C-alpha cells in the first residue's frame, strides 16, 4: 500500500496473536523498459569526467542502452560500463536538435539542417539507433521546413510506426513512416490557419497510445487556445479530440503522455495548480480534471514514471525560485495522494525522474544560487524519500539529467564549470550508483552503521551513532501515542532496512521505506497480523534462524511463552514456533546482536531481581541456556537497546536510558560481556524520549 491504496500490499491472514502463512501479490513493472534488480540503487559512486562538450540530452533505450548527446552522440550498450566513441554529423547539433527514446525500443536524433543550396530553408533529418544496435544509422531526409521552425515532436507506435509533427509558419504539419525501410509520407496540414489573434504555437506535444492512436496537442500564442487532434490506427486523417478538458488559460502548458496500460495522461497548469486528466484505453471521454499538486507548474515537470502496479509518479521544479513538487496517483482509486513529506529540497531546477531498481524512482535536480549550483539526487519509494545527496562539487553546474541503465541503476550527468573560472565549461561529468550489498542490521541512514530509533512528542527520529555521541537526523515522522516502533531489517528484499510497527489497537505491520528513508503512516507496508495485543513483548533480534533473513520474537502475556516468527523469504513470515517457556518473569527482553562474537544473534533478559542474563543464539531459531552478565543492573533504566557498535570496534554495544533522561553506553567485549557504562548523547535531553 503506497499511501492510502497505491499498490497491493503483501497481506498475511490475521490470526491473533499469531501470523499465518503469507500470500503474495505479484507485480511487474508497468514500463518494462529495463531488466531491473529487486534491490534499491546502492550508494553513489565517484563522479568522473564524461565528455569535453556540453550536455544536451541523456536518454535510455528500452533495453537499457544509454545515449548521451554532448560533443557528439555517445552510446553505452546495455550491460556495458564503457561509452563508445562519439558519432557526429556536420549539420547536426543546432538549436532544435532533439534526442528521443521511443516506445518501439529505438532512439532517434532529429534535427533541422540548413539546405546547402538555400540557407533560408531547412531539411528535417533523422538518425536512428535501432534496438540492440551500437551505432546510429545514416541520416534520412523527412521534409523541408522554414528557417525559423522552432518546434517539432516525434513519437512511435508499438508496431514501429513513426509520426513526426512540426510547425510551419503557423500551420501544424505531420508526416508518417510505416516502419523500417518504409518511406516518409508527404507532409499533411493539420490546420489551414490559426484562430484570429493567434501568433505562432508553443507547448507542442505528441504521443502514441498502446493501441496505435496518435495524439497531438499544442497551444496558440496570444489567444491561449488549446488544439488537440488524434488519429486512430488505419484512419486516413486527423480529427479534433472531443471534449478535450484543458482550458484556454494563460500558462496552461499542456503535456501529453501515453500510459503503458493504454490511453493517455494529460497534465496542465491552472491557477498555480498542476492538473491531470486521462482517457483510458477504449474510452471516448476524458476524466474530470483533478489536482495533482496544489502548488506547481508543468513548466519544468519531468516525464511521469509509471510505478509497479500502475501507480503514477510525477515531479517538477522550474526556473528561478520555483518550489519543487511531487505527486503520486493511485491506480486503484484514481486519486492523487497528498503526502505530508515534501520534496527533499526547497528550490530545484531541471528536475528529472526515472524508474530504478527495487521499485524506486530516482529524482535529480540542480540546487543552489548564483555560482554555487550543484547536482542533487534522492530516491523515492512507497511514500518515503531517501536523504538528498550532492553529486557534484559545490560549483556552478548546468542542467542535470538522469537515465536508468539495464540494471535499473540511475546514471546522472551534468555540465560542470571550472573552479578557477565558473563561466568556463570544464565538460560533462557523470556518476552512477554502486551495487547494493546486504543491508546492515539497524542501518537507517544508509551509511553502513547501526542506528537508534527515538520517539516522543517531536515524532520519530533516527539517531546515528558516532564514536562517543548520538546525532539526531533531520527526518522526522509522527505516530499515534502508544505505537511500538522497532528497527527490523530487510523484509521485501530491496536491500533497505524496514520497520516493525504495532499500532495502539494491536495491528502489526512491517513498513518498507527506501534506503535512508524513515517511514510514516502512509509508507507502503506488509500486514503481519490484525491483533498482536496479546503479546507484551515484541523483539526484533535480526537473523536468529541462520538463513540470512531477519526474524521476530514475541512473548505471550498470558503464558510467558516465547515464540519465533521466522522470515519466509517471500515478503512475509512462517507460522509461529515455540522457542521456550518461562520468559514471563523477565521485565525486559533485549535484542543483543552478536554479543559473544560467534556470528549468531543473542538475546538478553532482565529479571525482577535486577539480574541481566544472556541467551546465546544457536543460529537455528533457538537459544542456549542463560548465562549471567550482571548481578545488579538496570533498576533506573526505562529503555535498553543492544546490538549497536557505537564504539566502532566491531563489537555489539548497548545503549540505555535512565529515568533522569541520560543515555549510557556499555561497550561489548566480544565475549558475551559488557564493560562499565559511560554517558553518551550529552547534548540531548532524553527524558521525554523512548528508544528502540
In 10 A of CB 235, how many CB atoms? Answer: 12
3-state secondary structure at position 398:
strand
Residue 155 has pLDDT above 90, yes or no: yes
DSSP, residue by residue, 409-474: -EEEEEEEE-SS-TTSEEEEEEEEBPPP-PPPTT--SSSSS-EEEEEETTEEEEEEE-SS-EEEEE
**d(C-alpha 197, C-alpha 248), whole Å:** 14
In 10 A of CB 444, how many CB atoms? Answer: 28
DSSP, residue by residue, 174-218: EEEE-STTPPBPPPEES-SSPPTT--SEEEEEEEE-TTS-EEEEE
Instruction: Spell out where 271-404 has E strands.
Output: 273-279, 290-293, 305-306, 312-316, 325-329, 336-337, 349-356, 360-367, 374-381, 384-385, 389-390, 397-404
**d(C-alpha 551, C-alpha 535), whole Å:** 16
Q: Are strands 171-177 and 188-189 parallel, antiparallel or unpaired?
A: antiparallel
Identify the pLDDT of residue 578.
Answer: 97
Ranking 44-48, 184-188, 254-258, 316-320 by mean pLDDT, the lowest is 316-320
Of the candidates 388, 393, 389, 441, the one whose C-alpha atom is nearest the C-alpha of residue 414 is 393
Q: Average pLDDT in the 282-290 region?
A: 95
Ranking 7-11, 389-393, 485-489, 636-640 by mean pLDDT, the lowest is 7-11
Residue 31 has pLDDT above 50, yes or no: no
Identify the pLDDT of residue 365.
Answer: 93
Q: Residue 524 is part of which domain span?
A: 452-691
Q: Output 252 or 120, whichever has higher pLDDT.
A: 252
17 located within any domain:
no
637 has which bridge partners? 658
**d(C-alpha 250, C-alpha 270), whole Å:** 8
Identify the pLDDT of residue 441.
Answer: 85
43-57, 110-124, 146-160: which is most confident: 43-57
Q: What is the DSSP letter of 261?
A: T
3-state secondary structure at position 358:
helix
Residue 19 has pLDDT above 60, yes or no: no
Q: Output 34 or 221, whichever has higher pLDDT.
A: 221
643 located within any domain:
yes
- Express each pLDDT in 311-368 by its tens digit: 999 999 876 546 899 999 998 899 998 777 788 888 888 899 999 999 999 999 998 7
Residue 105 has pLDDT above 60, yes or no: yes
Sign of the torsion formed by the C-alpha atoms of 588, 593, 598 and 600:
positive
21-25, 31-35, 61-65, 477-481: which is most confident: 61-65
**d(C-alpha 258, C-alpha 107), whole Å:** 17
- Express each pLDDT in 112-134 by its tens digit: 888 877 767 788 899 999 999 99
Contact between residue 83 and residue 68 where contact means Cβ atoms under 8 Å apart: yes
Predicted TM-score (pTM) of the model is: 0.88
480 located within any domain:
yes
Contact between residue 188 and residue 173 where contact means Cβ atoms under 8 Å apart: yes
pLDDT-based confidence at residue 150 (cuts at 50, 70, 90) = low
User: Percentage of residues in the chain with pLDDT exceeding 70?
Assistant: 89
Identify the pLDDT of residue 16.
Answer: 31
592 located within any domain:
yes
- Express each pLDDT in 59-87 by its tens digit: 999 999 999 999 899 999 999 999 999 99
In 10 A of CB 123, how many CB atoms? Answer: 18
Ranking 92-106, 206-220, 396-410, 619-633 by mean pLDDT, the lowest is 92-106
Contact between residue 57 and residue 50 where contact means Cβ atoms under 8 Å apart: no
Identify the pLDDT of residue 352.
Answer: 96
Which residues have CB under 8 Å from 160's CB, separation 6+?
104, 178, 179, 180
Q: Output 185 or 446, whichever has higher pLDDT.
A: 185
Contact between residue 193 and residue 141 where contact means Cβ atoms under 8 Å apart: no
Residue 26 has pLDDT above 50, yes or no: no
Instruction: Tell me which long-range contacts 644-647 makes (C-beta under 8 A, separation of at least 24).
Output: 644/442, 644/450, 644/451, 644/452, 644/465, 644/593, 645/449, 645/450, 645/465, 646/465, 646/466, 646/467, 646/468, 646/470, 646/680, 647/467
**d(C-alpha 196, C-alpha 191), whole Å:** 13
Number of domains in the chain: 1
Identify the pLDDT of residue 322.
Answer: 66
**d(C-alpha 103, C-alpha 111), whole Å:** 20
Identify the pLDDT of residue 498.
Answer: 95
Q: What is the DSSP letter of 584?
A: G
Q: Average pLDDT in the 408-415 region?
A: 95
Identify the pLDDT of residue 549.
Answer: 94
Instruction: Spell out where 497-546 has E strands.
Output: 498-502, 508-511, 525-529, 535-542
Average pLDDT in the chain: 86
**d(C-alpha 442, C-alpha 460), whole Å:** 15
**d(C-alpha 533, C-alpha 531), whole Å:** 6
Identify the pLDDT of residue 147.
Answer: 62
- Express each pLDDT in 457-512 by its tens digit: 768 888 886 655 677 777 778 888 889 999 999 998 899 999 999 999 999 999 99
- Express each pLDDT in 659-671 by its tens digit: 888 888 888 898 9
Q: Average pLDDT in the 577-606 region?
A: 93
Q: Average pLDDT in the 16-28 region?
A: 30
- Express each pLDDT in 504-558 by its tens digit: 999 999 999 999 888 888 888 999 999 999 999 999 999 999 999 999 999 999 9
Contact between residue 499 and residue 488 where contact means Cβ atoms under 8 Å apart: yes
- The CATH number assigned to the domain holding 641 equals 2.120.10
Identify the pLDDT of residue 521.
Answer: 87
620 located within any domain:
yes
Sign of the torsion formed by the C-alpha atoms of 441, 447, 451 and 455:
negative
Residue 9 has pLDDT above 50, yes or no: no
591 located within any domain:
yes
Which helix (DSSP H) or strand (DSSP E) does residue 152 occupy?
Answer: strand 152-156
Contact between residue 121 and residue 112 where contact means Cβ atoms under 8 Å apart: no
- Cα angle: 371, vertex 374, 375; to 5 degrees: 155
Contact between residue 639 and residue 456 where contact means Cβ atoms under 8 Å apart: no
**d(C-alpha 177, C-alpha 182), whole Å:** 6
412 has which bridge partners? 402, 431
664 located within any domain:
yes
pLDDT-based confidence at residue 615 (cuts at 50, 70, 90) = very high
> Can you give the length of the chain in residues?
692
Identify the pLDDT of residue 258.
Answer: 96
CB-based burial, 413-427: b 16+ in 10 Å, e otherwise: bbbbbeeeebeebbb
Q: Which residue has the cell 534526442?
A: 99
Q: Which residue has the cell 482550458?
A: 247
Identify the pLDDT of residue 33.
Answer: 39
Residue 118 φ then ψ, to 5°: -155, 95
Distances (CA, A) of 15 to 260, 412, 500: 38, 47, 17
204 located within any domain:
no
Q: Average pLDDT in the 416-420 region?
A: 73
Identify the pLDDT of residue 590.
Answer: 93
pLDDT-based confidence at residue 616 (cuts at 50, 70, 90) = very high
Identify the pLDDT of residue 10.
Answer: 25
Q: Average pLDDT in the 382-411 region?
A: 90
Residue 175 has pLDDT above 70, yes or no: yes
Amino acid at each position: 500500500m503506497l499511501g492510502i491504496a497505491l499498490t497491493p500490499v503483501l497481506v498475511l491472514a490475521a490470526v491473533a496473536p499469531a501470523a499465518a502463512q503469507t500470500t503474495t501479490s505479484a507485480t511487474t513493472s508497468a514500463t518494462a523498459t529495463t531488466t531491473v534488480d529487486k534491490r534499491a540503487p546502492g550508494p553513489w559512486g565517484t563522479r568522473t569526467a564524461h565528455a569535453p562538450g556540453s550536455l544536451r540530452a541523456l536518454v535510455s533505450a528500452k533495453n537499457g542502452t544509454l545515449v548521451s548527446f554532448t560533443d557528439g552522440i555517445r552510446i553505452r550498450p546495455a550491460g556495458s560500463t564503457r561509452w563508445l566513441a562519439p558519432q557526429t554529423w556536420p549539420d547536426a547539433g543546432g538549436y532544435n536538435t532533439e534526442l528521443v527514446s521511443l516506445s518501439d525500443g529505438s532512439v532517434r536524433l532529429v534535427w533541422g539542417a540548413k539546405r546547402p543550396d538555400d540557407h533560408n530553408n531547412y531539411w528535417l533529418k533523422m538518425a536512428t539507433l535501432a534496438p540492440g544496435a551500437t551505432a546510429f544509422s545514416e541520416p534520412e531526409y523527412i521534409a523541408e521546413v522554414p528557417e525559423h521552425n522552432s518546434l517539432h515532436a516525434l513519437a512511435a507506435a508499438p508496431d514501429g510506426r513513426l509520426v513526426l509533427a512540426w510547425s510551419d509558419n503557423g500551420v501544424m504539419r505531420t508526416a508518417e513512416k510505416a516502419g523500417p525501410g518504409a518511406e516518409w509520407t508527404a507532409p499533411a496540414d493539420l490546420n489551414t490557419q490559426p484562430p484570429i489573434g493567434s501568433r505562432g504555437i508553443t507547448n507542442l506535444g505528441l504521443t502514441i497510445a498502446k493501441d496505435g492512436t496518435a495524439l497531438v496537442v499544442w497551444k496558440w500564442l496570444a489567444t491561449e487556445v488549446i488544439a488537440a487532434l488524434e488519429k486512430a490506427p488505419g484512419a486516413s486523417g486527423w480529427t479534433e479530440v472531443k471534449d478535450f478538458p484543458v482550458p484556454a488559460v494563460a500558462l496552461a502548458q499542456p503535456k501529453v503522455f501515453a500510459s503503458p496500460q493504454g490511453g493517455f495522461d494529460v497534465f496542465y497548469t491552472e491557477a498555480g495548480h498542476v492538473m491531470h486528466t486521462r482517457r483510458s484505453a477504449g474510452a471516448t471521454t476524458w476524466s474530470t480534471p483533478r489536482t495533482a499538486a496544489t502548488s506547481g507548474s508543468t513548466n519544468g515537470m519531468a516525464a511521469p514514471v509509471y510505478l509497479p502496479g500502475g501507480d503514477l509518479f510525477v515531479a517538477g521544479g522550474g526556473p528561478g525560485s520555483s518550489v519543487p513538487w511531487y505527486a503520486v496517483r493511485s491506480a486503484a482509486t484514481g486519486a492523487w495522494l497528498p503526502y505530508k513529506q515534501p520534496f527533499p529540497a526547497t528550490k530545484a531546477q531541471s528536475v528529472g525522474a526515472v524508474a530504478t531498481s527495487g521499485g524506486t524512482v530516482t529524482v535529480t535536480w540542480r540546487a543552489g544560487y548564483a555560482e554555487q549550483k550543484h547536482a542533487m539526487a534522492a530516491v523515492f519509494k512507497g511514500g518515503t524519500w531517501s536523504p538528498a545527496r550532492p553529486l557534484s562539487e559545490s560549483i556552478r553546474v548546468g542542467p542535470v539529467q538522469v537515465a536508468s541503465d539495464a540494471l535499473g541503476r540511475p546514471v546522472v550527468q551534468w555540465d560542470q564549470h571550472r573552479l578557477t573560472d565558473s563561466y568556463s565549461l570544464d565538460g560533462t561529468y557523470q556518476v552512477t550508483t554502486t551495487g547494493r550489498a546486504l543491508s546492515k542490521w539497524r542501518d537507517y541512514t544508509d551509511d553502513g552503521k547501526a542506528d537508534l530509533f527515538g520517539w516522543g512528542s517531536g515524532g520519530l527520529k533516527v539517531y546515528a551513532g558516532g564514536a562517543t555521541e548520538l546525532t539526531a537526523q533531520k527526518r522526522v515522522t509522527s505516530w499515534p501515542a502508544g505505537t511500538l516502533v522497532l528497527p527490523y531489517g530487510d523484509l521485501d528484499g530491496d536491500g533497505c532496512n524496514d520497520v516493525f510497527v504495532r499500532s495502539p489497537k494491536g495491528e502489526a505491520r512491517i513498513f518498507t521505506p527506501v534506503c535512508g528513508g524513515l517511514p510514516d503512516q502512509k509508507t507502503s507496508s506488509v500486514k503481519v497480523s490484525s491483533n498482536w495485543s496479546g503479546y507484551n513483548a515484541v523483539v526484533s533480534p535480526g537473523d536468529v534462524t541462520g538463513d540470512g533473513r531477519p526474524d521476530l520474537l514475541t512473548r505471550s502475556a498470558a503464558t510467558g511463552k516465547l515464540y519465533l516468527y521466522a522470515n519466509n523469504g517471500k515478503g512475509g513470515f512462517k507460522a509461529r514456533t515455540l522457542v521456550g517457556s518461562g520468559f514471563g518473569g523477565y521485565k525486559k527482553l533485549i535484542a543483543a546482536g552478536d554479543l559473544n562474537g560467534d556470528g549468531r544473534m543473542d538475546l538478553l533478559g532482565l529479571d525482577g531481581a535486577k539480574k541481566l542474563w544472556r541467551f546465546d543464539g544457536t543460529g537455528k531459531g533457538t537459544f542456549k541456556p542463560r548465562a549471567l552478565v550482571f548481578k545488579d543492573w538496570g533498576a533506573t533504566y526505562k529503555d535498553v537497546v543492544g546490538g549497536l557498535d557505537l564504539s566502532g570496534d566491531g563489537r555489539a554495544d548497548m545503549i540505555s536510558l535512565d529515568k533522569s533522561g541520560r543515555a549510557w553506553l556499555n561497550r561489548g567485549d566480544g565475549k558475551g560481556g559488557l564493560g562499565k557504562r559511560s554517558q553518551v548523547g550529552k547534548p540531548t535531553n532524553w527524558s521525554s524520549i523512548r528508544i528502540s
